[in-house]
Amino acid sequence: MHIPFYTARRDFVLKKPFYLFLFILIAAIAIPAVGLFLSEEEEAVQEKDEPSVDVVRSDTRQTETVPLEEYVAGVVAAEMPASFEKEALKAQAVAARTFILTQTLAGLEVTDTVDDQVFKDEAELKEIWGADYAQNKKKIEEAAKETEGEVLTYNGAPITAAFFSSGNGKTENAEDYWQSPLPYLISVDSPWDEEAPNFEQEMVMPRTQVEEKLGVSLTAAGEAGTVTARTAGGRVAKIKLGEKTFTGREIREALGLPSADFHIQSSGDKVIITTKGYGHGVGMSQYGANGMAKEGNNYLEITAHYYPGAAIESAEAFLKK
């Protein structure tokens, strides 16, 4: 028998108990199914809209797409010791997220090396951490999660969130390293750097090697060079070696020094170079951040100290662009 389920008579279903039962049964099955369909559709849209980072892996030269927050955790794990204080890790997470946002907005390629910021995936971290993998992973993922979506801005735009290992007791003005001033990358005190294991270092190099790399002739004994200017952060701005004048950055890069705060001494056929700090010195000192955290400062206070004038905002508005 043909059942005229759809009819022009509005009271048809109400007058037929069997049809009413059938209608309710179909509705009970159909409505959850429609709800399920919409949920899956919404989930697909959500997955599509989830921020991600394209990272060029140095070992394979292949580009991998990594969810943003997973990428941030992988950078924190690679760039900062997991033994550091939680608030220092959170400050690093905000800096890492801000850095990748500026790179992405500028359309720049991102690598997993120090040319950008180091990133390690799960397999690499398991190998590095060994038996400590589970506890380290939990701690760093919590640091990333507790700052999820937060970035540093200045005048409504993401900042250049530079960071480095440790300083010489001060950070550096951006213009003293990159020639371009930035109002939130200015020299600030960083006394906690003195606790870093790489605060002071000594390198011994053959004098002929130094002379060859710099294209100069050095005295056989005594101070090899005269510092004629220093930066606001106490690093070498200008130094005269032989008949040439160099910037501290030029010497650091030519000789592979850990810092531009250095002293060069000739001793026979050798040159002894002492340095303070590790890294370019601009932005946040990682050991300084850990020192601040040990004193009870939270990540907001840490980032406010090392990036003066910068504010914390959500990355959502920038990601939509």
59 plus 154 within the same structural domain: yes
Q: What is the token pair recorded at 189? A: 């005190």
* Closest by CA position to 97, among listed 70, 64, 123: 70
CA distance 92 to 314: 16
Same domain, 230 and 270: yes
Evaluate whether residue 28 is within a structural domain: no
Residues 160, 294 share a domain: yes
Task: Classify the C-alpha dihedral 83-88-94-97 as positive or negative.
Answer: negative
Same domain for 289 and 167: yes
Does residue 102 sit in the same domain as residue 242?
Answer: no
Asked whether the beta carbons of 192 and 285 are under 8 A apart, the reply is yes
Residue 7 lies in a domain: no
Looking at the structure, tell me whether residues 98 and 177 fall in a common domain.
yes
* 207 and 230 part of one domain: yes
pLDDT at position 242, please? Answer: 86
**Is there a domain that residue 192 lies in?**
no
* Contacts of 158 by beta carbon, 8 Å cutoff, 6+ apart: 98, 101, 102, 105, 151, 152, 315, 318
Identify whether the C-beta of residue 117 lies closer than 8 Å to the C-beta of residue 135: no
- Mean pLDDT in runs of 10 for the chain (321 residues)? 32 37 42 42 50 93 95 97 98 97 90 95 97 97 97 97 97 95 98 96 96 93 92 97 94 97 95 97 98 98 98 91 65
Domain region containing 235? 200-276
Same domain, 104 and 245: no
Domain check: are 128 and 204 in the same one? no
- Report the distance separating Cα 172 and Cα 159, nearest Å: 16
Residues 132 and 211 in one domain: no
CA–CA separation, 159 and 102 (whole Å): 7
Q: 284 - beta bridge partners?
A: 163
Contact predicate 150/260, CB 8 Å = no
User: DSSP letter string over 168-196?
Assistant: SSB-B-THHHHSS--TTS---B-GGGGGS
Instruction: Map residue 242 onto helix, strand or coil.
Output: coil
Domain count within the chain: 2
Measure the CA angle with vertex 215, ends 212 and 220; round to 5°: 70
Which pLDDT does position 321 carry in this prediction?
65
Q: Does some domain include residue 136?
A: yes
- With CA atoms as reference, report the closest residue to 281 among 249, 238, 246, 239: 249
Residue 8 included in any domain = no
In a domain, 60, yes or no: yes
Amino acid 301 reads: E
141/248 same-domain check: no
Pair 162, 284: CB distance under 8 Å: yes
Q: How far is CA 284 from the centre of its chain?
A: 11
CA distance linking residue 207 with residue 216, whole number of Å: 10
What per-residue confidence (pLDDT) applies to 193?
Answer: 98
Q: What distances in angstroms separate CA 236 from CA 55, 63, 311, one per listed residue?
A: 35, 39, 31
Strands 226-230 and 221-223: what pairing?
A: unpaired
pLDDT at 219: 86
Do 225 and 130 have their domain in common? no
- Counts of helices then strands in the chain (DSSP H, E): 12, 15
Q: Out of 276, 291, 306, pick the residue that ends a domain.
A: 276
CA dist 32 to 6, 24, 27, 291, Å?
A: 22, 13, 9, 55
User: The dihedral of CA 259, 260, 261, 262: what is its sign?
Assistant: positive
Q: Indicate whether 23 belongs to any domain.
A: no
Please give the pLDDT value at position 29. Answer: 42
76 assigned to some structural domain: yes
Q: For residues 308 and 43, give the distance between their C-alpha atoms in angstroms, rounded to a whole number.
A: 40
